Amino acid sequence: MQVKVNGVTYEHEVEPRLLLVHYLREVLNLTGTMVGCNTSNCGACTVLLGEESVKSCTMFAVQADGREITTVQGIAENGDWHPMQTAFHENHALQCGYCTPGMIMASISMLKENPDPSEEEIREALEGNYCRCTGYENIVKAVQQAAGQSA
Amino acid sequence: MIPVAFDYEVAESVDHAIELLGQHGEDAKLIAGGHSLIPIMRLRLAAPSVLIDLDRLDDLNYVRDEGDHLAIGAMTRHRDVHYNELVREHCGILGYTAGLLGDPSVQHRGTLGGTLAHGDPAGDMPSVISALEGTIVVKGPDGERTVGASDFFKDYLFTDLDEQEVVTEVRVPKLSSDTGWSYKKFSRRSQDWAIVGVAAVVEKSNGNIDSARIGLTSMGSTPIRATATEQALSGASPDQVAEAANSADEGTSPGTDDAASAEFRRHLARVWTRRAIEEALNR
Amino acid sequence: MGGGLPRKEDPALVTGRANWTDNIQLPGMLHLALLRSPFAHAKVTHLDVSGALDRPGVVAAFTGEDLADEWPGGVPCAAVVTEEQNTPFQAPIVTDEARYMGDVVAVVLATDRYKAQDALESIEVDYEPLGVVVDMESALEEGSPLVHEELGTNECFTFTAGVGNVDELFDKTDDPDDQAAAARAPDVQGEGDTDAAFAKANVVIKERYIQQRLLPTAIEPRATVAFQDPGHNGYVVYSATQVPHLAKIVLSLATGIPENEIRVVAPDVGGGFGSKLNVYREEILALVLAKKLGTPVKFNEDRSENYQATIHGRGQIQDIELAATSEGRILGLRVKLLDDMGAYLQLLTPAISVSGAAMFPGVYTFDAFSIEIKGVFTNLTPTDAYRGAGRPEAAYAIERAVDSLARKLDMDPAEVRRKNFYEPFDEPTETPGGLQYDSMNMQAAMDRLVELADYEGLRREQQQRRENNDPVQLGLGFSTYTEICGLGPSQALAGLGLGGGGWEAANVRMLVTGKVEVATGTSPHGQGHETSWAQIAADALGVTPDDVVVIHGDTAAVPFGRDTYGSRSLAVGGIAVHLACEKVVDKAKKIAAHMLEAAEDDLEFEGGKFSVAGSPDQNVSIQDVAGGAYLGADIPEGMEPTLNENMTFDPPNFTFPFGAHLCVTEVDTETGKAWVRDYYAVDDCGPVINPIIVDGQLHGGLAQGIAQALYEGVIYSEEGNLMTGSMVDYMIPGAPELPNFTLDRTVTPSPSNPLGVKGVGEAGTIGSPPAVMNSIIDALSPLGVKHMDMPALPMRVWNAIQDAQGNAAASGEYDAALGSREADVKQEGRSEEK
C-alpha cells in the first residue's frame, strides 16, 4: 500500500487486518493518534481522510491505500500551530490531553463543513469524541474561538 | 480487540464485487463503510475469511434527480446525503436522518447502501426508507432487480439480498410542498442507537391530513409501519392525531434490553408518533 | 499566583508529541496478552498453554503455577480497616478458581499485539462453573456461595463508629407502627440523661440509596512497559499510573525485588480518576516477566479489559435514618452501609467507604451520629477509589436525606439547610464524624448561590410550568457539601488503616544560570501541576513561571513522593514546593547579604531582587545569588554551596473544601428523559493559584457527577456477566449530554497550611450527584415521586412516574424486565418515610 500521511508518502506491505490507527502509531511511529475504546465510540483515534474526520480504529490500513491522511502531527505549518491548537490551549480545553488530538481533528473537520456553528451544533458534531476531564464546556469555547466567534 | 486475519479484495466495479462473491462463497463478506462490521470483527464476533471492499466504487456515490424520485448511489456516505442540496430540497427527512446516524466521523465512512444491507431494525435509515416507501436496487449474477422497502427487510439483520447480490441504488420519492415530515429519535445519548425512532411522512391538505406513512425503528425484528395509526390518520384533522397515535404500537413486537423494556418502547412509540406527526404537520 | 496562566503542559499535548506509555517501543519488546475468565466464578479444571507456543511470534506462555514463586506478596492491599479484616491472597494469575469475569487464567507473550491476541485462542482451558455471588445482601445470607471458600464468609470487615446516643434517639422515634409520631412535637420523651434535643425528635427520614458501580473510564487505557535497567541489576517500569512512588514500594512487596532496584516512571498519563491509583496484577506480571525473560515486556489493555479488570468505583447500599425536629433541626443520623469489595481487595478497596464514613454528617451540625459499614465480597470486578472515593457517597446520602426532610416538613430545601449549617468558623471545629473541619462559611456560599441562580425566579418558572401542566417539568435541586482533602496528616491516615505517609516532598534548586527546577512528589495526569507549581515557585522566588521547570513522576528523578489522588496535591505537595522555595529564599538572603556586604536583617526581597532597605540601588538579583551559590567562591564561610532545598510537608490537619450547588433539570414527564438545563455552583477551595485550572477541575468533576446521576451505571447479569462491557453500552456522556456551568467562588482560607489552599479535584463529583437527583425528584414531586436511584435514565424516570401514579401494571413489567438482567436494580432502593 501507498499512503500520504502529513504530506509524506509511505509504502508498506501490511497485513489486511492491520488497523489504520496501529499503522500510524506502530509502523509510522506517529504516536499523536491514540486508541481509546476499540468500538468507534470515543474518537481518540480521529484523523482526517482527505478533509473529513474518520476514526482510524474503524478502518483498515489497506483501505487508506492511495489516500491522504492528516493527523494532529501534520496540522501545524512551518512550526505555527493550527488555529484550533491555539484555541484549545488558550481556552483550557484539555486536561490530561489524551482525547485532545482526536478532538482537535474532529473540530477541524466540523468547521470545514460548518464554518459558523451554533453551540448546539458544535456539541452535536463532537458527539463521537469523548473527553473525561473537561466536561466539554471549554472545548466548545475553543471551537467557537477557532471559528472566529467571540467567546 | 484485534480482528482475526482475513484476505482482502478490492472490488473494482459492482460486477467485480459480484464475481468475487461468487468466487469466495459464504465465507466472504462485503464491506462498505465498515462501521457495523469492523467493531464486531474486532470483538471477534464475526470472522469472515475474505473481505470484499466496496470502498472504491466511486461510481456508486451520487444523488440524481430522476423526475418524480431521487436516485442515490449505494456508496453515498451518510454525511454526503446529509449535506446534499437535492436531498435537502426534495427529501428533507432523508438528509436530516443521515445526520443523526452515529457521529460525523461515522457518517463520513458509513453508506446508505451499507446501512440498508445490514438490515438492523435499530438503524434509523430502514424505517425512514420504509416510511418513504423507497425502493432498493440490487444487482447480482442474474442482473438487476428492484425491491420495495416493505419486501426488503425480512428479519433481524436479514434482508432480501441473495448471497451474491449487492445493493447499488436507493430510490426515494420527491416530497411535495404539501408533504410534512419528521424523524424523532429517542436515545439515551446523542450518538447511541435509537431506543425507539419514528419516521413520519404526512400528506397535508387544507390543514388536515390526507394520508400518513409512519415507520418505526427498534420496534421489532425489522422496521415496522404503524399501519393502524396510518389508517386512523387518513383524512383526519389535527385534533385527531393524539388518538390515532395511541395505536402506533399495534402489531409491533419490541424487545426488552438494558435500555428499555418492551412496554416502555410501546409507550415511547405512541408518544413519539404523536410528536412526530405534530412536527410533520408544522413542517 | 492567582493568574489564569495557560498551561505549560499544553504544547506537547495539542501537537501530538506527548509521551504516553503505549508509545514506547523497545528492541526485543514482547507484548503481554492475558487469557481472562469468561465466568464470574469457576474452577479451572484443565489448562494447557502449549498450543499457544506453536503459534507464530509467540515466545512464551505461562500458567499461574509456572510463575507462583515470582510473586510472594501477591497483589497487595495496603488498607487494613479493622483487626479482623479478611484479606484474601490475590495471585496475578489464578491457580485454582477464577473469581470474577476477567480474572486472569494464563498469559502469552508474543512479538506483536496481534499475534499475542491470536495465541490466546490456542490455550486449552476447561472451567467448572461455581455458585456466583452478585448481590451483597444475599452474599451475607447463610448458605450463600462463597467468593473465597477458605474465608468461610463473604464478609470482609465490619467497621463501626459514632458519637452521641444515636441508637437511643432512633429507638424512641423509629417505631413503624406509631402513625402519630411524625405529627407529634416534643412528646417523644427521652429518658434519664438523654440530651434534651433528642427528646424533641419527631420526624425520622428512613431511606435506602443505591450507589451504583461506575466505570472510571480514563480515556487512556492502562499501559505498562517493564525492562531491565541496562545500567545495573535493577528494573524500570513505565506505567500509566497516578502513583509511581507507591508503585515502586508495592511492586517490591509483591515480587520481592528490593525497592532500590525498581525505578517507576509515570510518563504522560491520560487521566486516572482513581483508577490508576492502584498497582495491578498486569504491572506485576510485566515486571516479573521482564525479569524472567530478560526482555522488555509491554502490557496495554483494550477497553473491554479496562471495563472488566480495571477497578470499578462506588458500589454501596446505603440505609440512612435522619432524625429531626418538626422545625427542621437535625438531631441525629444513623447510617448502615454495605460496601461491595468485588472479588479481591485492590490497593485501598476496604478503605474507600471507611475514609468517607466521617463525612456523612456533611455541613450540618448535630450531636448524634453512628455508622456501620460491612465490606462484602462478590464475584465482580474489585472496587476501589473513583473520583471522590467515599465522599461522593457520603454527600449523596445526607443531601438526599435533607431534601426528603424538607419535603416531609413542606419546607424550602434551602431553608432546611440554613437551619443546620455551622456558624462560620476559621479555626478547627469538631464534627459529629469526629473530624476537625478546618474552616467553613456555608452561609456565604449559599447566599451567593441563591443570588447567582435567581432562585426565586426559578421557583416562579417552576410554578408556572406546574400550573400549565407542561409535559416538561422543571426541577430545582440543591446540594450543600463539604469534603475531605489534603491527604493527609500521617497520624490521621494511620488511624484510617492506611499506615500513614500522608506527607509530600519537594526539591527546589536554582541552577547556575538562574533557572529553576522543581522536583515534586506529586504525579499529575491532567491537573496541571507543571503550571501551578511553577506559579507557586515563581511567586516565592521572584522569577517568572517560564523560568521554572517542574519534574515529576519518575522515582529516579524525584527523591521521594506520595503521588496524586484525593485532591491532595496542592494542599500537601504544592505547599511542600512553597516551603522549599522559602528555604531557598532564606539561604539566598544570607548569600545576598554577604555579596552586598550588608546585614541580613537590612535586606528586603521583592520582585526577585534583594536590596538594602533604604538604598534600592544596592541590590542583587536572586539569579545572581544562585550563580554565586553554585560557584561557591564567594559565599559565607562554612555555608554549603548551591541553592538546593528539600522540604517534606506533613500537614497538621486535612482540608475541607465546601460549596453550594443548584441543579436546574428539565424532565419530560411523557418519556422520562431528564437533562440538566443549568448548573450553578459556588465552591470554596480557599485561595486559588490558577483560576482556569480550578474552573477546569470543577467542570470535569461536575460532568462526572452528573454522569453518575443521569447516565452511568454498571450492569451485571445474575451470572455475573458484565453487560456494560464497552462504551456502546456504558453511558459515558458526550458533549450533547452536558450543560454549561455557571460557577462562582467564595474564599475561606484553610488554617491547615500556609497558603490556605484546600483542593478542588473532586469537589464537582462530590457536590453534583445529589443536586441532580434532588432536582429530578423536585420536578416530579407533584406527580407523587419521592425517590429515585441513579442513574436517572429515561426508563427509570418513567417507571417512577408510573409507580407514583399507581400504574403498577406497566412498571411491574418494567421491573421484571430489568430484574432479570440488572444486579443493582435487584437491590433497588426503597423509600420509606415514617
pLDDT of amino acid C784: 96
Q: What is chain C's Cα-based Rg?
A: 28
In the predicted model, is pLDDT for residue C761 greater than 90? Answer: yes
pLDDT of amino acid C833: 34
Letter string b/e over residues C582-603, b meaning 16 or more CB atoms within 10 A of that residue's CB: bbbbebbbbbbbbbbebeeeeb
Q: Is C136 left (phi over 0), alpha (psi -120 to 50) or beta?
A: alpha
Q: Determine the Cα–Cα distance for residues C60 and C13; give it in Å rounded to an integer.
A: 36
In this prediction, residues B25-44 reach a mean pLDDT of: 92
Closest Cβ opposite residue B190 in set C734, C794, C822: C734
In this prediction, residues B4-12 reach a mean pLDDT of: 97
pLDDT of amino acid C495: 83
C contacts of A120 (beta carbons < 8 Å)? 736
Cβ distance of B188 and C822 shorter than 8 Å:
no
The SS3 call for residue C614 is coil
pLDDT of amino acid C832: 36
A contacts of B5 (beta carbons < 8 Å)? 15-17
Cβ distance of B106 and A128 shorter than 8 Å:
yes
**Segment (H or E) for C341:** strand C330-342
Cβ distance of A134 and C692 shorter than 8 Å:
no
Decide if C694 contacts C674 (C-beta within 8 A).
Answer: no
On the 0-12 / 13-18 / 19+ scale of CB atoms within 10 A, C608 is: middle
Cβ distance of B189 and C731 shorter than 8 Å:
yes
On the 0-12 / 13-18 / 19+ scale of CB atoms within 10 A, C71 is: buried
This prediction has a pTM of 0.95
Cβ distance of B34 and A124 shorter than 8 Å:
no
In the predicted model, is pLDDT for residue C184 greater than 70? Answer: no
Q: What is the pLDDT of residues C269-320, one digit of tens each?
A: 999 999 999 999 999 999 999 999 999 999 999 999 999 999 999 999 999 9
* pLDDT band with cut points at 50, 70 and 90 for residue C815: very low
Q: Determine the Cα–Cα distance for residues C322 and C403; give it in Å rounded to an integer.
A: 11
In the predicted model, is pLDDT for residue B106 greater than 90? Answer: yes
Query: How distant is the alpha carbon of residue A38 from its chain centre?
Result: 16
Backbone angles phi, psi at C219, to 5 degrees: -70, -30
* pLDDT band with cut points at 50, 70 and 90 for residue C484: very high
CA distance A37 to chain B (A): 9
Q: What percent of chain B has pLDDT over 90?
A: 96
Residue partners of C2: CB distance under 8 A and separation at least 6: C687, C688, C689, C690, C691
The SS3 call for residue C662 is strand
**Would you tell me how many other CB atoms lie within 10 Å of the CB of residue B240?**
14
**Would you tell me how many other CB atoms lie within 10 Å of the CB of residue C45?**
9
Cβ distance of C793 and B1 shorter than 8 Å:
no
Q: What is the pLDDT of residues C412-461, one digit of tens each?
A: 999 999 999 999 999 999 999 999 999 999 999 999 999 999 999 999 99
CA distance B38 to chain C (A): 14
In the predicted model, is pLDDT for residue C813 greater than 50? Answer: no
pLDDT of amino acid C821: 38
In this prediction, residues C228-237 reach a mean pLDDT of: 88
Q: Determine the Cα–Cα distance for residues A94 and C668; give it in Å rounded to an integer.
A: 33
Decide if C720 contacts A148 (C-beta within 8 A).
Answer: no
The answer to whether B5 faces chain A, any CB pair under 8 Å, is yes
Query: What are the helix and strand counts (H, E) for chain A?
Result: 5, 5
Closest Cβ opposite residue A128 in set B55, B83, B102: B102
pLDDT of amino acid C557: 96
The answer to whether B192 faces chain A, any CB pair under 8 Å, is no
Cβ distance of A40 and B106 shorter than 8 Å:
yes
In the predicted model, is pLDDT for residue C17 greater than 70? Answer: yes
What structural domains and CATH numbers belong to chain B?
7-53 (3.30.43.10), 58-173 (3.30.465.10), 179-281 (3.30.390.50)
Q: Determine the Cα–Cα distance for residues A84 and A126; give it in Å rounded to an integer.
A: 14
Q: Which of C1-15, C99-113, C588-602 has the lowest mean pLDDT?
A: C1-15
Pick from C135, C142, C128, C162: nearest CA to C43: C128
What structural domains and CATH numbers belong to chain A?
2-74 (3.10.20.30), 83-146 (1.10.150.120)
Q: Determine the Cα–Cα distance for residues C306 and C300; give it in Å rounded to an integer.
A: 10
Give the type of residue at C829.
G
Pick from C156, C59, C175, C38: nearest CA to C107: C59
In this prediction, residues C74-90 reach a mean pLDDT of: 96
Q: What is the pLDDT of residues B196-220, one digit of tens each?
A: 999 999 999 988 999 999 999 999 9
Cβ distance of C814 and B43 shorter than 8 Å:
no
Q: Give the residue with greater pLDDT, A111 vs C176.
A: A111
Q: Determine the Cα–Cα distance for residues C762 and C568; give it in Å rounded to an integer.
A: 10
Mutant choice from A60, A67, A71, A104 vs B, greatest count of B C-beta within 10 A: A60
In the predicted model, is pLDDT for residue C182 greater than 80? Answer: no
CA distance B236 to chain A (A): 35
pLDDT of amino acid C559: 85
Which grid coordinates are listed for B160?
432480501
Cβ distance of C271 and A81 shorter than 8 Å:
no
Pick from C190, C240, C235, C202: nearest CA to C218: C240
Decide if C748 contacts C440 (C-beta within 8 A).
Answer: yes
* pLDDT band with cut points at 50, 70 and 90 for residue C172: low
pLDDT of amino acid B1: 82
Pick from A89, A99, A92: nearest CA to A126: A99
Pick from C501, C535, C500: nearest CA to C516: C535
Q: What is the pLDDT of residues B152-195, one digit of tens each?
A: 999 999 999 999 999 999 999 999 999 999 999 999 999 999 99
pLDDT of amino acid C387: 97
Cβ distance of C711 and B189 shorter than 8 Å:
yes
| Chain C residues with a Cβ under 8 Å from any Cβ in chain B | 113-114, 117-118, 302-304, 670-673, 711, 715, 723-724, 726, 728-729, 731, 733-734, 736-737, 793-795, 798-799, 810, 813-814, 817-818, 821-822
Which grid coordinates are listed for C221?
487505557
Backbone angles phi, psi at C593, to 5 degrees: -60, -40
**Would you tell me how many other CB atoms lie within 10 Å of the CB of residue C576?**
32
Cβ distance of A58 and B191 shorter than 8 Å:
no
Could you tell me how many residues make up chain C? Answer: 834
Q: What is the pLDDT of residues A96-124, one digit of tens each?
A: 999 999 999 999 999 999 999 999 999 99
pLDDT of amino acid C367: 85
In the predicted model, is pLDDT for residue C497 greater than 90? Answer: no
Tell me which chains share at least 3 CB pairs under 8 Å with chain A. Answer: B, C
Decide if B130 contacts B225 (C-beta within 8 A).
Answer: yes
On the 0-12 / 13-18 / 19+ scale of CB atoms within 10 A, C551 is: middle
Closest Cβ opposite residue A76 in set C15, C23, C217: C15
Which grid coordinates are listed for C526?
491532567
Q: Mind giving me the DSSP string for B59-75?
A: GG--EEE-SSEEEEETT
Q: What is the pLDDT of residues A20-71, one digit of tens each?
A: 999 999 999 999 999 999 899 999 999 999 999 999 999 999 999 999 999 9
What structural domains and CATH numbers belong to chain C?
10-130+222-300 (3.90.1170.50), 163-213+313-485+654-833 (3.30.365.10), 503-649 (3.30.365.10)
Residue partners of C601: CB distance under 8 A and separation at least 6: none
pLDDT of amino acid A150: 60
Task: Show which of residues 73-132 on chain A sit within 8 Å of chain C, judged by CB atoms.
Answer: 73, 76, 81, 85, 88-90, 92, 94-101, 104, 120, 122-124, 126-132
Cβ distance of B188 and C793 shorter than 8 Å:
yes
Which grid coordinates are listed for B104?
460525523
- Looking at residue C716, the DSSP 8-state letter turns out to be B
In the predicted model, is pLDDT for residue C683 greater than 90? Answer: yes
Q: Determine the Cα–Cα distance for residues B275 and C78; give it in Å rounded to an integer.
A: 56
**Segment (H or E) for C378:** none
Decide if A88 contacts C10 (C-beta within 8 A).
Answer: yes
Which grid coordinates are listed for C230?
541496562
The SS3 call for residue C627 is helix
Q: Determine the Cα–Cα distance for residues B59 and B50; give it in Å rounded to an integer.
A: 23
The answer to whether C740 faces chain A, any CB pair under 8 Å, is yes
In this prediction, residues C360-381 reach a mean pLDDT of: 96
B40: number of CA atoms within 13 Å, CB side?
11
In this prediction, residues C799-820 reach a mean pLDDT of: 64
* pLDDT band with cut points at 50, 70 and 90 for residue C199: low
Decide if C802 contacts C111 (C-beta within 8 A).
Answer: no
Q: Determine the Cα–Cα distance for residues C593 and C614; give it in Å rounded to an integer.
A: 15
CA distance A66 to chain C (A): 24
C621: number of CA atoms within 13 Å, CB side?
11
Could you tell me how many residues make up chain A? Answer: 151
Cβ distance of C15 and A35 shorter than 8 Å:
no
In this prediction, residues B51-73 reach a mean pLDDT of: 97
pLDDT of amino acid C200: 59
